[in-house]
Structure 1
Amino acid sequence: MHPIRRRVMNLHPTRRISFMPLESLIDQYICTRKRQGLLSTQLALRALKEVVPSPSVCDGHLVNMITERAVAAGLVIHFDHSGENVG
């Protein structure tokens, strides 16, 4: 099971996926990548879509959200996603 999914499933039922802001999920994913120092946009999108299968924003916007937070965390970013068809 993916680390984000494991953390979310351990939350109190009223705070599960549908109530968690997308930004919080992105921050949790980035925390799991800090040790490696590298973030793959493709893997980040896949991980988020495991938790939120139909996000309210397009993939391009998700990538922007992910990369902004990853840069702030000091991660190297590998832009390996393939446009709007990732997942």
Structure 2
Amino acid sequence: MTGGVDLVRRPELISLTGRQKEQVRDRAHRDRKTCTGCGSGEFVVGDALYLGYLFRSEPLDAYMIALTCANSSCPDPYNGITLHGPEFLPSP
């Protein structure tokens, strides 16, 4: 419970391991991704959402990974990055 509100984890979200989060963070740095709210380049990596079946314009191996700006005073801290599965998921 957060702030009096029960939070339910969405079943379609994929939790990432520490290694996977580091790979996403490295990719965001390589791409020079910055926060749209404050311009910071430091992010906390969250969960992934598989996009391949949701949007026809996305490749079948596309995922959206949540990025939250690490700047606590950021006015708009929620961001994301789209990656292909092999860029951060282990091979089966």
TM bin, normalised by shorter chain, reads: under 0.3
Answer 1 or 2: which has greater strand percent: 2
TM-score, with length taken from structure 2? 0.22
Higher relative contact order (CA 8 A, sep 6+): 1
Look at both structures and tell me which one has the larger radius of gyration over its CA atoms.
2
